[in-house]
Structures are given as C-alpha cells and as structure tokens.
Amino acid sequence: MNNKPILSPSILAADFGNLQRDVEMINRSDADWFHLDIMDGVFVPNISFGFPVMEEIARYAMKPLDVHLMIVEPMKFIREVKELGTYMMNVHYEACPHLHRNIQQIKNEGMKAGVTLNPHTPVSVLEEIIIDLDMVLLMSVNPGFGGQTFIENTLDKTARLKELIAKRNSSALIQVDGGVNFETGKLLLDSGADVLVAGSFIFNSSDPLQTIARLKEL
C-alpha cells in the first residue's frame, strides 16, 4: 500500500477522568479521525457513553468524528449524531432490517454512511448495497469490550471485501476495529484495509503520540 492508512483512535480506551487531555492529545497526533463507540447494553453486552459525553468530545475534537453505533434501532438517533458534527455514521448490518433506507437517511443528513459487520457475518450480505456505502467496518473482535484478541480470519475477510468492492466498482473504504497493533495492522493493510481503529494499544502505551506515528507508517 503506497498511501498511509487512515487512523481512527477509539476514545473508548481513553482516560475518562482526563477526557479533554486525551482528546487534545489526539488533536496533536498524526491520527486522522476520532472513533466513538456507542453501546447500549442490548445489542452488545456492555454500555459505553451517550450524547452528553459525545458532545464534550465534539467540543474539543479538531478532527472528523467517526461514530460507530452498536445499538438497537440506531436510526432513532440520526439527528443527534448529525448535530455533533459527525463525519461518518456507522450502523450495524445486524441491527438494520431496512439497511438501504437507513443508508439514504444518513446521507440525506449530509454524513458519510458506514456499515459494520460482526465477526460471524459474511461480506456477501453487502453485495447489493456496497455501491451505496462510503465505508465498511469489519469487527476483528466480538463487539462490546476493548482489549480483546484479534480474530485471524479477519485477514481473509478483508481480502474478500476488497474483491467485492472492486467487482462492484464501489469506492467504499475498509475499516477494521479490534486487536489492532503494529503486527496485525500491517497484515490488515496488506490484505486491503484502508482505516485502522486502535484503542487500548494507543492509550495504554507509554507514548501514545509515538504509537500513533508508528501506526501511520505501517
């Protein structure tokens, strides 16, 4: 891959007691986006944070917001997500029985539209809609918790998705979230990924700015 990957650090792994500090660190870093994971304890077995916290992040963030809704009925909140100034609104295939309509609703609000696939969901389910998508997020861990081990099959899945995008003449980016580090990040980029999400690997490192810089050079 000639171009540098897009890097979207996951704020879920930030220090919520020092959230402004961590957001400003990402502002200063080589990262491209802010990845916000919204969990409801229903669609995934965990609860993260809601709109009051997201508004604080948006207030200090100087880079595009990449909002990943791991919730049932994500379309209920399209207006609130838009009002944050969100760049990319990402909903789960598994949570949207009317996905085509939902993608149009997101785009009608002026946002980019992404769709997430859980580890067990094959990329073939997107065949009829890939042309309408701006991004596909492949979960390389089971969604709900940070710090999990990378699922190796994601490499093959990334390559299959890249083939589907090429076959359908889509311009969708491929984003991968879960267990991303220097080693898995390089393998994912070689398989066709465009955007890497990393959380605990960045925020738990001794020098997050340096870790981000190294991820950008993979």
| Segments in the chain below pLDDT 50 | 1
How high is the pLDDT of residue 1?
42
- The ranges assigned to domains in the chain are 6-216
Could you give the angle at which helices 208-216 and 182-191 cross, rounded to 10 degrees? 20
pLDDT of residue 145: 67
Location of structure tokens 């996951």: 10
Catalytic residue set: 37, 177
Measured distance CA(67)–CA(70) in Å, rounded: 10
Tell me the two tokens of residue 165: 């995008």
Q: What is the pLDDT of residue 197?
A: 97
* Residue 83 exposed, middle or buried by CB count within 10 Å (0-12, 13-18, 19+): middle
SS3 content of the chain, % helix, strand, coil (to 5): 45, 20, 35
Contact 190, 5 (CB under 8 A): no
CATH fold group of domain 6-216: TIM Barrel (3.20.20)
Give alpha helix (H) positions in 61-153.
78-83, 99-108
